[in-house]
Structure 1
Amino acid sequence: MSRMSALAQPPAPRTAPADQAPPVVLAATSLWLFAVAAGVFEAVLIVTQMLSSGTAFGELLPQIAFRLGVFAAAVFLALRLRAGRNWARLTLAVGLGIFGTLSLVIEPARWLLGGGSIGDALAAWAPMDFAFAGSRILHLLAVLGAVTLMFQPRANAFFRGRPA
């Protein structure tokens, strides 16, 4: 083969080592970590708003501790997901993909079903409300995207080939 024809050929595709997570799993992990960051941002907004309305910090400690526990568990599970642990994938899918998603949408859904008006709410919102809503939407999209990516064919093959 001449040097010129060797240069004209595209390089052979690089394949990841068998123990390295495929891009779809790495993307799912990134989305889970983004969802945690959005949750932290939302928690900071909630705590800030409650403190500014006169709630004592001590009253917020149980809520803060619970959220920190959920965030820590989510980060741990996302890192185990990246390492190829199928139990982490299933725990994330059920725990945060189902129950976590419900916790994100149940309050707004109840409010809408109770006759709430989006237009009236938007007219009364302060900048912090818009920041919270934007973060909540991105949070929800990250969770839905992560769950979807975790069960793509390449992800399924990766988890199937891993030792228990």
Structure 2
Amino acid sequence: MTKTSGTTRISRASRPSRVSRVSRRPPPYDPLGADAPPAPAPVHAAFVLWLVAVAAGAFETVVAVVDRATGADGSLGSLGSLAGGVALRMAVFSAAVLLAVQLRRGRNWARCALTVGLGVFGALSLVIGPVQWLADGHGVGDAVTDLSVADVLFGASRVLHLAAVLTAVVLMFRPAANAYFKRATTGRRPGSLTAPPPAR
């Protein structure tokens, strides 16, 4: 402090600088950062179920390929026709895993993509075959006639696959999940009523 003409004046050096005031401001809240709360139980369960659905789909693909390879039509041409389908399935499974990871991190766009891509179109692709088979005039009793081991394994996996998809979709829109995705989208701290002001 310096005195001039009987008055007290605060020197420029002793005044708090704008830089120091800014440095004391807490960093902006990152809803997906290290200080973010863990995903709620419905979101975590949906994440696990999506992985179960992917595993079931991969198992069905293996069963179908092995059954075709060991069947009466196990020619190279027949197996070659499966290559495109297998490649497409692997691409879909990889995308599903990546989306499930983003879902657990609170990405709402991943929730929408999983709902539309796998929850709607994926579920339809799982049931369209049996529905068409029944529409051709076959009965439910015909489905259990002369079942092979591959048919039983494939059918059991398909039921698990469909159940996992439908349950995961429901869990992603539970109230706790909706609050989690909303908080991640708006950037609000847990328990706060308003979003934090942006850093200047």
| TM-score under structure 1 length normalisation | 0.86
Letter matched to residue 126 of structure 2: L
Letter matched to residue 121 of structure 1: A
1:27 matched to which residue of 2? 45
Q: Which runs of 5+ in 1 are unaligned?
A: 1-16
Letter matched to residue 61 of structure 2: A
* Equivalent in 129, 132, 149 of residue 154 of structure 2: 132
* Equivalent in 174, 178, 182 of residue 156 of structure 1: 178
**Identity over aligned residues, as a percent?**
52
Corresponding residue SS for 2:106: coil
Higher RCO (C-alpha under 8 Å, 6+ residues apart): 1
CA RMSD of aligned residues (A): 1.3
* Equivalent in 86, 98, 104 of residue 120 of structure 2: 98
Name the structure where helix makes up a greater proportion of residues. 1
Segment drifting more, 69-78 vs 54-63: 54-63
Q: Are 1:46 and 2:94 an aligned pair?
A: no
Q: Which runs of 5+ in 2 are unaligned?
A: 1-34, 187-200
Structure 1 runs (4+) deviating above 3 angstroms are none
1:7 matched to which residue of 2? none
Rounded to whole Å, the distance in 1 between the matches of 2:135 and 2:84 is 30
Deviation, 1:115, is 1.4
Q: Which entry has the higher C-alpha Rg, 1 or 2?
A: 2
Rounded to whole Å, the distance in 2 between the matches of 1:156 and 1:55 is 51
**Per-residue Cα deviation, 1:64-113 (whole angstroms, up to 9, x for no partner):** 11010000000000011001100000000000000000000001011112
In structure 2, the CA distance between the partners of 1:52 and 1:138, relative to structure 1 (3 Å rule), is: same
Letter matched to residue 28 of structure 1: A
Corresponding residue SS for 1:119: helix
Deviation, 1:148, is 0.2
Corresponding residue SS for 1:123: coil
